[in-house]
Structure 1
Amino acid sequence: MASTLTPQQPTPGPTSTPTPTLTLKPGTAYADAWQRCLAVAPEAFRDGRVLNLWGAAWRPDGRALPATTPVDGTPVAGVPRLDGPTAVRAVRAALDQHRAWRHVSLPERRARIAATLDALSEHRDLLALLLVWEIGKPWRLALADVDRAIDGVRWYVDGIEPMLAGRAPLDGPVSNVASWNYPMSVLVHAVLVQALAGNAVVAKTPTDGGVACLTLAFALAAREGVPVTLVSGSGGELSEALVRAPEIGCVSFVGGRDTGATVADAVAGLGTRHVLEQEGLNTWGVWDFSDWAALSALIPKLFDYGKQRCTAYPRFVVQRSRFDNFLSAYLPAVRTVRVGHPLAVTGPDDPLPELDFGPLINAAKAKELADQVAEAVDRGAVPLHRGLPDPARFLPGQDTSAYLHPVTLLNPPPSSPLHHAEPFGPVDTIVLVDTEAELLAAMNASNGALVATLATDDRRSYDRLAPHIRAFKVGHGTPRSRGDRDEWFGGWGASWHGAFVGGELLVRAVTQGPADERLPGNFPEYRLTP
């Protein structure tokens, strides 16, 4: 019989303090956010739906599907799905924009991107509120997503000239297919830098969330004359246009390995320039380590946004002889992780709650992970921690089907996806090892990752072992992140294909240089020539 991950809420005893009744913070309802969108960009929002942007016009084409927020089940705008032939027309229109934009002077491009950033800054709070509703980000993290996009692109605006020296835009627009978890700091950031470098840009709205936030951001960019296209639809339906179309100059993809492998095969056959970021099982190794207070302080931070990010650490590989110390540091820390409704307050003047995460992206994802955990436990994994919902962090009677509280398992069986793949949710797994060889094998379980960390007191051990960890960034006792500005980012093995990005490398990835140039990157079977 499968174990359940739906713990019973504790029944208050006769002396328990009554739980305060929570309500939505005034002015933060989804209906309020929608009305603000209508006031800011009426051209992009109409009749309760968002529009597609292509051919420099907002169009009511596409079939809008019903959608609800993962936060509490409130109905929200769904993506207006285009069909394949319409997407082909959109890409061809983007090529026309590209041919004009690539001849616009750099000072003019800088001015238009800078004006876009000013507009994004003006509507920062609305963009963040949309992220809360559409993808469940707590307010603090939603603001950070918006701010990182704005601040990151400003860095390029201020220093773009030397990055473009001797370089030219591509022959066709850049196509962006990105995951839903960072609409601003990943997708909008990339789009604006690509346009600054002289390219028209096509982007697909993630199917799982973020459509209103992205629509507003693209509307602000389009008003400043930036050649952006934003379309919605299923990946299978639109891939012919967004990945395989001969008009495309570069494909930028952020997502899962299965879809990424399909995209990689397509661009390899076509010779299309590409940046393909895919997930990997990022691991945290513990070997001859003793600073348990420092580790304990980090554990709650590692749960930001429910580990729904490409640089999350869901796997701990722990030296067996240090396991008791590890648990003494880990378990009290994981019990402090705060989960709840991101906009629920006890009074109208109260600040929005400080949370580590809210819901997962949808109820289906929460159920999938719960089922994987239950199956792993049935097959021998040991449950070390199962978080309990705190009624004081939710609205009375709200839909909580998309919420999953932290879970920690010891030794998931090899047959479980939790043994070798990234869960993309608040599920930690722990693997015990006795030798350095076992440590490295366990840390390299997913054939390449984006980040990893090795916590060890001995710097010589770190220097000896870190080069054998197949992750692009390896930290010494501290977490690594995607990075901003001039910090490179990439991956090894199956976690990444194509050009690396960050700083000058992001510009090089979407521009043409010398004829014999080789782009830095992870090209397993071929080398890419501009």
Structure 2
Amino acid sequence: MAQPTLVLKSGTAWSDVWRRALAVAPEAFREDRVLNLWDGSWQGGGRTLPATSPVDGSPIVGPPRLDAATASRSVRASLDQHRAWRHVPLPERRARVGAALDALAGHRELLSLLLVWEIGKPWRLAQADVDRAIEGVRWYVENIEGMVEGRSPLDGPVSNIASWNYPMSVLVHAMRVQALAGNAVIAKTPTDGGLACLTLAAALIRREGIPVTLISGSGGELSEALVRSAEIGCVSFVGGRDTGARIATAVTDLGKRHILEQEGLNTWGIWEHTDWTNLGTVIPKLFDYGKQRCTAYPRFVVQRTAFDAFLAAYLPAVASVRTGHPLAVAHPDDPLPELDFGPLINASKAKELTDHAAEAVERGAVPLFRGVLDPARFLPGQDTSAYMAPLALLSPPASSPLHHAEPFGPVDTIVLVDTEAELLAAMNASNGALVATLSTDDPATFSRLAPQIRAFKIGQGKPRSRGDREELFGGFGASWRGAFVGGELLVHAVTNGPDAERLPGNFPAYQLTP
């Protein structure tokens, strides 16, 4: 029987979604552009760059990039807002943040659809991103009193620079907790995506009188204002190590409070392990959002004598991973498809990973699995240049970026080892990571090896995640610098406490294992 020709689900076209955003927040959107939010109002200016959706390559609205001088003025204006907001009583701050959460919840579907078009998230994951941004902050609203007891807001606003992959559950979540703690907040829209979603969220938050600044521009041009300005009380950064290292140098030189979450090669080790059924169940879930997550697991370190059993579990599992157009259905009123991931963030990223993989194979890596995009999951004739099916390589050469760096895409690499020393060396290849997992049948072996793995969260046969609410989060080595966050420490990181206070930092004593 022939497969039906797919169509867009009714009401989900970019033009439909854009019109809805215009109707909900006319103060922030124009017919052909969005505005920047600074000095308490939505303002024109900035050079709007063209942008396309990773979903199908079609044009969407690009960021209005400000220059360095305007960014500096926005920071000075945010300081004035901060000085007023820090004196607003906590009950009023709670009420305003709670009202903003209600407004976001009321537009959950629209925020999710914007995420689908702007960064390619499948519907299930887009909704989860919005939900975590809402429910996570509700927990802080309910528990904030004890977290701020004996503490005060910072002397200046918090500057947020974050990657594009989790605009709501990472960036918007952090901004509202920072504001709840008594700080004005500044954020730069990520260069690669999330502009309209963040603009709508900021409009809903700003309506409640919360001091939010949201501006667009290149990191290089705006960093002087957003990182080095004397007015900034804390810098919160989520992104790659190269940019993070430059920011770390700047904030260290200035003695400025900072939270820097950076990439790391998260690894899954397998040693004296036999529960292959459980592993096979977990592997497809590890491909959520095409492994474009800071807590993704792109590297398996496998005991050589168990490699055949590993492959028997791994190959069918990875073959079951579903990718396709996130909004394509057989009939306009059908439910949206259940996918593990859709496109990567852009066609350039897909090409970069494809090229890295081809180069690794030329230098000796062995292809173990090479997925193929299924035409039945796409619209007829659509641009699929940003899509990449799962790929697995055995033993990438040391000269390959896939050997030592996080791919941030659906590429797994497998390394075989013969001794525990080799296992630990391979799992620690990137000098620090956010998460790692060790699968072993013997609890004593796990207890002995886990403390030697340089990752902040260690899973025992199961994946670890960023977590939220009361759960602490951080990294080891080059994957994290500055204060750890999570629970009350997310509040402590952006408030002043007792004299000589030292927040938990990048120290082994804070490694988390089950």
Name the TM-score, length of structure 2 as normaliser.
Answer: 0.98
Partner in structure 1 of residue 511 of structure 2: none
After superposition, the C-alpha distances for 1:378-419 in whole angstroms (9 at most, x for unaligned) are 000000000011111000000000001100000000000000
Give the partner amino acid of 2:387: Y
How is 1:249-268 mapped onto 2 (pairs within 5 angstroms)? 249-268=233-252
Q: Is 1:38 aligned to residue 22 of structure 2?
A: yes
Q: Is 1:500 aligned to residue 484 of structure 2?
A: yes
SS in 1 for 2:342: coil
Distance 1:178 1:276 in 2: 10
SS in 2 for 1:318: strand
Equivalent residues of 1:319, 1:433 under 8 A apart = yes
Give the partner amino acid of 2:305: S
Equivalent residues of 2:65, 2:216 under 8 A apart = yes
Aligned mate of 2:71, from 65, 87, 90: 87
Equivalent residues of 2:88, 2:182 under 8 A apart = yes
Partner in structure 1 of residue 155 of structure 2: 171
SS in 2 for 1:46: coil
After superposition, the C-alpha distances for 1:22-47 in whole angstroms (9 at most, x for unaligned) are 00001000111111111100000013
Partner in structure 2 of residue 60 of structure 1: 44
Distance 1:334 1:60 in 2: 47
After superposition, the C-alpha distances for 1:303-359 in whole angstroms (9 at most, x for unaligned) are 000000000000000000000000000000000000000000000221100000000
Distance 2:74 2:297 in 1: 38
SS in 2 for 1:332: helix
Q: Is 1:442 aligned to residue 420 of structure 2?
A: no
Equivalent residues of 1:116, 1:220 under 8 A apart = yes
Q: Which stretches in structure 1 are left out of the alignment for 5+ residues?
A: 1-16, 525-530
SS in 1 for 2:228: coil
Equivalent residues of 1:145, 1:182 under 8 A apart = yes
Displacement of 1:373 after TM fit? 0.2
Partner in structure 1 of residue 369 of structure 2: 385
Aligned mate of 2:391, from 404, 407, 412: 407
After superposition, the C-alpha distances for 1:129-186 in whole angstroms (9 at most, x for unaligned) are 0000000000000000000000000000001000000000000000000000000000
Partner in structure 2 of residue 269 of structure 1: 253
Distance 2:161 2:506 in 1: 19
SS in 2 for 1:521: coil
Equivalent residues of 2:476, 2:507 under 8 A apart = no
- Percent of aligned pairs sharing the same letter: 78
Q: Is 1:115 aligned to residue 99 of structure 2?
A: yes
Give the partner amino acid of 1:212: A
Distance 1:373 1:278 in 2: 23
Distance 1:370 1:389 in 2: 14
Q: Is 1:133 aligned to residue 95 of structure 2?
A: no
Partner in structure 2 of residue 221 of structure 1: 205
Give the partner amino acid of 2:86: R
Partner in structure 2 of residue 10 of structure 1: none
Distance 1:19 1:403 in 2: 21
Partner in structure 2 of residue 190 of structure 1: 174
Q: Is 1:474 aligned to residue 458 of structure 2?
A: yes
Distance 1:483 1:47 in 2: 38
Displacement of 1:18 after TM fit? 1.9
Distance 1:457 1:264 in 2: 40
Partner in structure 1 of residue 349 of structure 2: 365
Displacement of 1:374 after TM fit? 0.2
Partner in structure 2 of residue 280 of structure 1: 264
Distance 1:35 1:142 in 2: 19
Displacement of 1:516 after TM fit? 1.0
Partner in structure 2 of residue 303 of structure 1: 287
SS in 2 for 1:494: helix
SS in 2 for 1:50: coil
Distance 2:23 2:385 in 1: 32
Partner in structure 2 of residue 312 of structure 1: 296
Q: Is 1:350 aligned to residue 334 of structure 2?
A: yes
Distance 1:484 1:509 in 2: 15
SS in 2 for 1:213: helix
After superposition, the C-alpha distances for 1:165-224 in whole angstroms (9 at most, x for unaligned) are 000000000000000000000000000000000000000000000000000000000000
Q: Is 1:237 aligned to residue 221 of structure 2?
A: yes
Give the partner amino acid of 1:236: G
Distance 1:68 1:234 in 2: 17
Equivalent residues of 1:306, 1:357 under 8 A apart = yes
Give the partner amino acid of 2:450: A
After superposition, the C-alpha distances for 1:64-120 in whole angstroms (9 at most, x for unaligned) are 101000000111110110000000000000000000000000000000000000000
Distance 2:332 2:258 in 1: 48
Displacement of 1:523 after TM fit? 7.5
Partner in structure 1 of residue 190 of structure 2: 206
Partner in structure 1 of residue 512 of structure 2: none
Give the partner amino acid of 2:156: G
Give the partner amino acid of 1:62: G
Equivalent residues of 1:498, 1:523 under 8 A apart = no
Equivalent residues of 2:39, 2:77 under 8 A apart = yes
Give the partner amino acid of 1:217: A
Distance 2:311 2:99 in 1: 51
Distance 2:41 2:149 in 1: 33
Q: How large is the RMSD of aligned CA atoms in angstroms?
A: 0.7
SS in 1 for 2:416: strand
Equivalent residues of 2:22, 2:31 under 8 A apart = no
Displacement of 1:521 after TM fit? 1.2
Partner in structure 2 of residue 289 of structure 1: 273
Give the partner amino acid of 1:108: E
Equivalent residues of 1:184, 1:214 under 8 A apart = yes
Distance 2:399 2:196 in 1: 39
Equivalent residues of 1:340, 1:359 under 8 A apart = yes
Partner in structure 2 of residue 335 of structure 1: 319
Q: Is 1:69 aligned to residue 56 of structure 2?
A: no
Partner in structure 2 of residue 48 of structure 1: 32
SS in 1 for 2:150: coil
Distance 2:469 2:292 in 1: 22
Give the partner amino acid of 1:313: Y
Displacement of 1:275 after TM fit? 0.1
SS in 2 for 1:445: coil
Q: Is 1:451 aligned to residue 439 of structure 2?
A: no
Name the TM-score, length of structure 1 as normaliser.
Answer: 0.95
